[in-house]
Structure 1
Amino acid sequence: MRVLLVNVPHPAIGSRIPDDHLPPLGLLAIGGPLLDDGHAVRLIDGEFGPMAPADLVDEVVAWSPDAVLFGHSGSTSGHPVIAEVSRAVASRLPGVPIVYGGVYPTYHWREILAEEPHVTAIVRGEGEETARRLVAGLAAGADLAALPGLAIRRGGEPFATAPAPAIRDLDAYRVGWELIDHARYSYWGGLRAVVVQFSRGCPHPCSYCGQRGFWTRWRHRDPVRFAAELARLHREHRIRVVNFADENPTASPKAWRAFLEALVAENVDLILVGSTRADDIVRDAEILPLYRRAGWQRFLLGLESTDAATLALIRKGGATATDREAIRLLRENGILSMATWVVGFEEETDADHWRGLRQLLSYDPDQIQMLYVTPHRWTPYFRLAAERRVIQADRRLWDYKHQVLATRHLPPWRVLAWVKLAEVVLQARPRALARTLFHPDPALRHAMRWYARMGRRVWFHEIRSFLVRDRRATDGPSVAAFWGAPQDDEEEAMRPARRAGGRA
C-alpha cells in the first residue's frame, strides 16, 4: 500500500517561535516497520513553513495515498489542526482510510469517532505493531474489530478493540530515518538534530502526568545497540544534537550506565539534551563525569513546586534539598540545568508566587521554563481539578504555555505578571547573565546564548498574545463540564507485556 504519514503544523509556542525544527519521532517510529513490511511510505512534515492547511491538503492528495496516517506529539493542542486537515483530506479522497494516533486520540477516541465521521480508525497506545496490523488489514479488507489496539465503529457506534500489549522489545522496531532529509532538521541553534527514545514510560506516580499511563510500563532499549544507532546517525548523517524524548531515561542505573559507557566507547562528538529527575542525578553523583564524557550538556529537571503539601497532592515525591543538590552537581560537572516550574496546581496567592520565586533563586538553575498546569482527564489529577473553572476553551492553546484554569485568588493578568517576573528575575539576574555572556566552556556559552535569544522572543510573544490575541472566558465551565467524565480507570493504554513464565 501507499501509506502517507502526515505531521500537521502545530500552533504551540514551542513549535512556532524557534527557528529550529525537530523530526516527528512518533511518525518515523511507525514508518520504519511499515517500510520493512514492503509498503511505499512517505512523510509530509507540515511544520516547515509552516504549511498552510490548504497547501498541506493539496500535497497529500497529489501523492494519491491508499491510507493517510495522522499523529502529533503535541496531542491535545494539536488535535484541532489534525481534525481540520484530515476532514479536508477525506473530502478530497473519499474512500481512502484516515487513521489517527497519539496520546489525545488514545483517550478521546469516543468523541473523535462520534464527531468526526471521516476518521476510519484510531490507534490506541504504542503504534509500531498496531499500525503494521492495521495497514495489512486494510490492504486485505479484513475485519478490523479483530485487531487489538484500535478504536473503530461497529454498527455505527464507537467501539474499542482489545488493548494491545505493550511492546517488550523496543529494539524489534526500527525508526524510519530514511523518511526525512536530516539537513532540514536542527536544534541548539542550527545544529543538525534528531529526537530519540532510550526508554518509554516512567515508574513514578505523578498524578498530573499525561504520558506515564500511555506507555503503561517503563522499558528501555538495549544500551549498546542504542549507542551504536546514535553513533551511526552522527557518522552517516552528521547529527550533532540528540534530544531525548524520554520521561525518565535514567530510571535503571545499570542500563543507563551501560548506555553511557557504550556511547563513550563509540567516540563520537554528540550533544545530548533531555529530561530526568533530580533524585536520579543525586543518585549518580559519582558517575556524572561519565555523563559529561558521553556528551550531556543539559538536563531539564521537573521542580513543579516547593510546597510539601502540593508535592504530596500531585504525588511528585521530590524534595527541595534534592532539587538544589542536583543543580549543584550538574554545574560542578559542566552540565546545564533547566528548572521546569509549573504554576496553578493549587489556588495560589501572591504570597505563594513570591515564595516560589525566592525558592527558585535559591536553587540557582542555569535556565528556567515556566509552565501552567493543564489537566488531562485520563490522569488522577483530573479529579482534583474537576470543579475548577476553564478560562481557555480553545484547545489549540492547551500547550502548557497558556493559562487554562482560573485561580480563585488571582486574576489571569496577575498570574501572568508573576510568571513573567520570575522569568526575568531568574534569567536576567547578574549571575545568570554572567554565565550567558562569559561561560568558560564555549559549548555551554553557545547553549546559554541560544536559549536566551529564544527566551526573549517567547517572553514578548506571550505577553502580546495575552493582551491582543488570546481570548479568555470570565465564567467558563468547570473542567468536568468541559472534558466530561474522568478516565483515570483507563489511564494504562495497553496491556502489560508478559514476561517469561507468564507473569506481567
Structure 2
Amino acid sequence: MKIVLVNPPHTAIGSRIPREHLPPLGLLSIGGPLLDAGFAVSLVDADLADLALPAIVEVVQAAAADVVMLGHSGSSSVHDTVVVLCDLLKAANPELIIVYGGVHPTYHWDEILATCPAIDFIVRGEGEETATRLMRALCNGTALADIAGIAYRQDGVPVASAAATMIMDLDRFRVGWELIDHKRYSYWGGKRAVVAQFSRGCPYLCSYCGQRGFWTTWRHRDPVRFAKELAQLHREQGVELINFADELPTGSRKAWRAFLEALIAEDVPLLLVGSTRASDIVRDADILHLYRRAGVIRFLLGIESYDEDILRTVNKGSHTSEDAKAIALMRQHGIISMATYVVDFKEQTDRDYWRSYRHLLRYDPDQVQLLYATPHRWTPYYATVQDKKIIQADTRRWDYKHQVLESVKVPPWRVFLWFKCIEVAMQMRPKAIARVLLHPDADFRHAMRWYTRIGRRVWCHEVFEFFFRTRHLRIRPTLERFLGKSLAEREYALARQRKSPQAVTVVRFNGHIRNDAANSPAAQLERS
C-alpha cells in the first residue's frame, strides 16, 4: 500500500510572505510509525513548493498512491482548501482512500463526513498509533469499529469509534525525518531548521486555546533522548535551529533542566526558539543561564492581554507583574522576548488600545506580535462570544491575523490602524533599534534584524491586503448562526486509559456525540 502524506498550501500571511518554511512535524510524526510498520510512504509538501491544487493532484497520481493522508498545523483556516483538494483528488481517482487528521477534523468529524463525500476517514486526536492501526485494518480487512480514534461512514452515516488513548510514552514513536530534504527547509534568516516537540499539552485552562483539549494533558519526552535526537539532526543533517511546537516545553522544571543540561553536554551550536509562560521564566530565574548556554535565543510569552480583568475572564492564570519581570529576566540573560497582544477579547475603545500600547512600552519586549481573537467551536471561549457578530465570512482568513469578531465601539478600519501603528511604534523605538544594531551577542543581533526584515514585508502586505482585498460583511450574522452551536463538550479529545471496547456511536449530522471516553470531564491535569 502506497501512502502519500500531503501538507496542503496554507493561505495565511505568515505562511506565504517570509519565503522560509519549516517542515510539517505533524505529518512527519505520522510518517515515522507508518514507515516502521512497513508501508511505502512519501511526502508532498505543497506549502513549501507553493503548488496549486491541480498540481498536487498530478503529483499524487504520479506517485500511484493508494492512500492520501492530509493534515495541517492545527488552525481551521486551511480546512476549506483541504475540502477542495480532496474533491479534486477523488475526481481524478475514485478508488483513492483519503484520510484527514488534525485539530479541526478531530472536533468537526461528523460535519465533515456529512458534507465532504471525498473524505473517507478522519483520525481524531494523536495520530501516530491510530493512523498505523487504520492502515493495517484496511490492508487486512479487519473491523474498523475496533480501532479507537477514528471516524468514518457506516451505511452512509458518520460514525465515530471510542476516543483513542493518550500516548503517555512519547518516545514510543519516532519522527520520519527521512521523508524530507533538510536542505529545502530554512528559518531565522536562512538557517536550516526543523520543528520539534519535547512535550504535548498544557496544564492551564485558558478558555480560548484550541490546542489544550486536543492533547488532554501535559507529557514530555525523555530529556536525554530528545537532546541526542536534536544533536544528531545537527551533525547528520546540518540543522541549525529548532522551533519548538510545544504549548509549554518548560512545564516541568525538572524535565526541562535535564534537557538543557543534556543538550549542553552534546556541545552542538543549535539555536532554540519557542513559546512559554512568563511564570515559568520567573520560576526558572536561577537557571536561565542554562537556557542561553543550551541555545535558547527567543521565547514568545503568551501574555495575550495587559488587563487583569481580561486575563481572569479568559482563565489565563497569570498576572501582569510576572509578565514584566519575565521580560526583564530574559534580557539579563541575552534571550529575546516576544510579547503577544490579542485584540477583541472584549469590547475595546480607543482608550483601551492606547492603554495597551502604554503597557507594552513599560514591559519593553524585544519583539511584539499582535493577534486577533479567533474563536474555535470546541473551546469554552466560543460560548462566551457566540452571540457576537462576525465581519469576516472567509474562514481561510480566520488565522489570528485578520479580524473576525465585530468591534462595536471601534470600526474595523480603526482597529486595524491601531494594530499596525502599535507594531510600528514598538519596533521603531530607539531601544529596539539599538538592539538590532548594537547588541553585543551576534545571534541576538541576527535574530532582531531577521525579524525586522520579515516584519516589514508582512506589515506592508497586510496593509495592502486590508485596503484592496479585504471584504467585510455588511449584513453580519452572529457567530453561532454562521458556524453553529458550541462543541465545548468535545474539548477533551483523548482518553487517559484504555477502556473496555465500546460500541460505535452513530451520529447524524445535526446530532450529538455520545461517547463517554471522549466527553468525560478532564482528568487531573498534571506536570511531569
Task: Give the alignment's TM-score, normalised by structure 1.
Answer: 0.98
Q: Deviations over 1:345-381 (max 9, x none)?
A: 0010001100000000000000000000000010000
Q: CA deviation at 1:157?
A: 1.1
Q: CA deviation at 1:87?
A: 1.1
Q: Partners of 1:439 and 1:19 in 2: how far apart?
A: 26
Q: Which residue of 1 aligns with 2:16?
A: 16
Higher deviation after alignment, 140-149 or 449-458: 140-149
Structure 1 residue 475 corresponds to structure 2 residue 475? yes
Query: What is the aligned-residue RMSD (CA, Å)?
Result: 1.2
Contact kept in structure 2, 1:201 and 1:218, CA below 8 Å = yes
Match of 2:192 in 1: 192
Q: CA deviation at 1:396?
A: 0.6
Deviation per CA, 1:191-243: give whole Å up to 9, x if none. 00000000000000000000000001100000000000000000000100000
What is the aligned residue count?
A: 501
Tell me, in whole angstroms, the C-alpha distance in 2 between the residues paired with 1:110 and 1:316.
Answer: 31
Any idea what the Cα deviations from partners look like across 1:56-77, whole Å, max 9, x if unmatched? 1100111111111000115301
Kindly indicate whether residue 290 of structure 2 is the aligned counterpart of residue 290 of structure 1: yes
Which residue pairs with 2:124 in the alignment?
Answer: 124
Q: Does 1:266 align with 2:266?
A: yes
Matched to 2:71, the amino acid is G
- Write the distance in 1 (CA, Å) between the matches of 2:147 and 2:317: 38
Provide the residue aligned with 2:140 in structure 1.
Answer: 140
1:412-491 to 2 correspondences below 5 Å? 412-491=412-491
For residues 109-147 of structure 1, give each alpha carbon's deviation from its aligned partner in whole angstroms, at most 9, with x where no partner exists.
111101100111000000000000011111122232221
Instruction: State whether residues 145 and 152 of structure 1, in contact with CA within 8 Å, keep that contact through their aligned partners in structure 2.
Output: no
Structure 2 residue identity aligned to 1:439: H
CA contact (8 A) 1:10 1:74 kept: no
Tell me the equivalent position of 2:514: none
2:47 is paired with a residue whose SS is coil
Q: 1:67–1:96: 8 Å Cα contact kept in structure 2?
A: yes
State how 1:188-267 maps to structure 2 within 5 Å: 188-267=188-267
Q: Which residue in the other structure is 2:512 paired with? A: none
In the other structure, the counterpart of 1:112 is 112
Within 2, Cα distance between the matches of 1:111 and 1:459? 36
- Match in the other structure for 2:361: 361
What is the rounded CA distance, in whole Å, between the counterparts of 1:351 and 1:75 in structure 2? 31
Is 1:342 the counterpart of 2:342 in the alignment?
A: yes
Residue number in structure 1 paired with 2:492: 492
Q: Which amino acid aligns with 2:88?
A: A
Distance 1:313 1:297 in 2: 32
Question: What is the letter of the counterpart of residue 421 of structure 1?
Answer: C
TM-score (norm 2): 0.94
Aligned letter for 2:241? V
Deviations 1:322-365 (A, max 9, x none): 00000000000000000011110001000110000000000000
Partner of 1:409: 409
Q: Describe the superposition over 1:282-330 as per-residue Cα deviations: whole angstroms up to 9, x where unpaired.
A: 0000000000000000000011111111111000011111000000000
Structure 1 stretches of 4+ with a deviation exceeding 6 A read none
Residues 497 and 292 (structure 1), Cα distance of their counterparts in 2 relative to 1, 3 Å cut: farther
Q: Offset of 1:475 from its aligned partner? A: 2.5
Deviation at 1:160, TM superposition (A): 1.1
Q: Deviations over 1:466-492 (max 9, x none)?
A: 111121102221111111111111100
SS of the residue corresponding to residue 325 of structure 1 reads: helix
2:227 is matched by which residue type in structure 1?
Answer: A
- In structure 1, what is the Cα distance between the partners aligned to 2:144 and 2:269? 46
Q: Distance in 2 between matches of 1:63 and 1:145?
A: 30
| Deviation sequence 1:246-270 (CA, Å, 0-9, x none) | 0001011111111001010111000
Amino acid at match of 2:4: L
d(CA) in 1 for partners of 2:441, 2:258: 27
Q: Which deviates more from structure 2 when the two are superposed, residues 118-127 or residues 146-155?
A: 146-155
**Partners of 1:439 and 1:394 in 2: CA distance:** 42
Residue in structure 1 matched with residue 43 of structure 2 by the alignment: 43
Alignment gaps of 5+ in structure 2? 500-522
Cα distance in 2 for partners of 1:350, 1:175 equals 47
SS in 1 for 2:251: coil
CA distance in 1, matches of 2:445, 2:398: 32
1:308 alignment counterpart: 308
CA distance in 1, matches of 2:55, 2:371: 32
What's the secondary structure of 1:171's corresponding residue? coil
Aligned to 2:152: 152
What is the alpha-carbon distance in structure 2 between the residues aligned to residue 159 and residue 25 of structure 1?
28
Secondary structure (helix, strand or coil) at the match of 1:159 reads: strand
What is residue 394 of structure 1 aligned with on the other side? 394
Contact persistence 1:272–1:295 (CA under 8 A): yes
Q: Which amino acid counterpart does residue 300 of structure 2 have in structure 1?
A: L
Partner amino acid for 1:111?
E
TM-fit CA distance, 1:443: 1.1
CA distance in 2, matches of 1:153, 1:43: 26
Within 1, Cα distance between the matches of 2:257 and 2:406? 44
Q: 2:89 — aligned with what?
A: 89
3-state DSSP of counterpart to 1:129? helix
The percent of aligned pairs where both chains have the same amino acid is 59
For the Cα contact (< 8 Å) 1:167–1:497, is it kept in 2? no
What amino acid maps onto 1:437 in structure 2? L
Distance 1:308 1:274 in 2: 25
Higher normalized contact order (CA 8 Å, seq sep 6+, divided by chain length): 2
Which residue of structure 2 aligns with residue 175 of structure 1? 175
Alpha-carbon shift at residue 49 of structure 1 (Å): 3.4
